[in-house]
Amino acid sequence: MPEAAPRHPIAVTMGDPAGVGPEMAARAWEARREQGLPPFVAIGDVAAIETVWNGPVARVGDMAEVAPAFAGALPVWHLEDSGPLTPGRPTPAGATCALHTLETGIGLTRNQASAALVTGPVSKHALHGIGYTHPGQTEFIAERCGVTAANAVMMLAGPGLRVVPLTVHIPLAEVPDRLTSELIVAKARIVARGLKRDFGIDAPRIAMAGLNPHAGENGQLGDEEVRIIAPAIAQLAAEGVIVAGPLAADALFAPGIRQQYDALLCPYHDQALAPFKALHFHDGVNLTLGLPIVRTSPDHGTAFNIAGTGRADPGPTIAAIRLAATLAAVRERSCAAPR
């Protein structure tokens, strides 16, 4: 039995039909008992699953059908035919299907028919080819949820570590200018609220890394810590959000230190993600804080190079479904909390 099962099933989008998303959903279902996964439904083109997997499929068209079917077959919400399919070969029809799948998953979760949304990997390149203009799925989900993209905060969560990159997909040279006190304050607030509401941590312990090596050594190796980060931390403290730091990033990730905190805020992408993936490559989950819905995703891409070969590891998808269930159950328990 799942450790924390929400009342409703979880919506898992397959992502690009030619990527590893469909087979990862199928293999997560195969592992449902040993991994204690709650009922979920795979949304997308049923042919994308049947092309790469021989297991039992139960087509559903209503979320109420998911839980009864789940023990004996993988529930699949077939959305549309995405045309001739070759694993590893994305097509415009496949990208269109991935986009419709995402829209459907968001809608079901916004309606509370689904307890949480787990998004499979899409090809940004293929999506851009059909006119999609968002940098990734998160920005689209935020927009559909009525949240500005800046307030949708990416967190990477593993069993022993949660990290939040405060800037993401921008050139490194732009990071020092983009890191403002306002940005830090806004994102730290969302992280603190997410740790409370979604993870059920009453008094979250948060730390922040410096921008510069050794957190600037009191301004000797850069002054952003003094000029930007320290004032942000002071303002947060005045609001009751306690953030330790700025701390030297390399020391912060050492085992005895990182374990003291519920989340580590990092000024930029690689500072957060390189140590995170070094530790949690097989069980890391990408989740979005600040949304009215619970949203997680496996922390990998479409892996077109190995799609259909059986070599992809379903561990991250399993971890994403399990974490989504836990977070949704925590939100349900605190039913007074706003959705």
Interacting residue ranges for a copy of itself, rule: CB under 8 A:
168-173, 175-176, 209, 211-214, 216, 221-224, 249-256, 258, 268-271, 273-279, 281-282
- Sign of the dihedral through C-alpha 328, 262, 141, 24: negative
In the bound state with a copy of itself, the residue whose beta carbon lies nearer, of 146 and 255, is: 255
In the bound state with a copy of itself, the residue whose beta carbon lies nearer, of 237 and 254, is: 254
d(CA 268, CA 4): 33
CA angle 26, 70, 64 (to 5 degrees): 120
> What torsion do the CA atoms of 134, 138, 139, 140 make, to the nearest 10 degrees?
70
In the bound state with a copy of itself, the residue whose beta carbon lies nearer, of 275 and 308, is: 275
Minimal distance, residue 244 CB to a copy of itself, in Å: 16
Minimal distance, residue 166 CB to a copy of itself, in Å: 13
Minimal distance, residue 313 CB to a copy of itself, in Å: 10
In the bound state with a copy of itself, the residue whose beta carbon lies nearer, of 21 and 267, is: 267
- Those residues whose C-beta lies under 8 Å from the C-beta of residue 143, and which sit 6 or more positions away, are 134, 149
Minimal distance, residue 73 CB to a copy of itself, in Å: 33
Helix, strand, or coil (residue 157): strand
Minimal distance, residue 85 CB to a copy of itself, in Å: 26
In the bound state with a copy of itself, the residue whose beta carbon lies nearer, of 213 and 292, is: 213
Minimal distance, residue 168 CB to a copy of itself, in Å: 7
Maximum CA pair distance of the chain? 63
In the bound state with a copy of itself, the residue whose beta carbon lies nearer, of 81 and 270, is: 270
d(CA 197, CA 332): 10
Whether the CB-CB separation of 162 and 225 falls below 8 Å is answered with: no
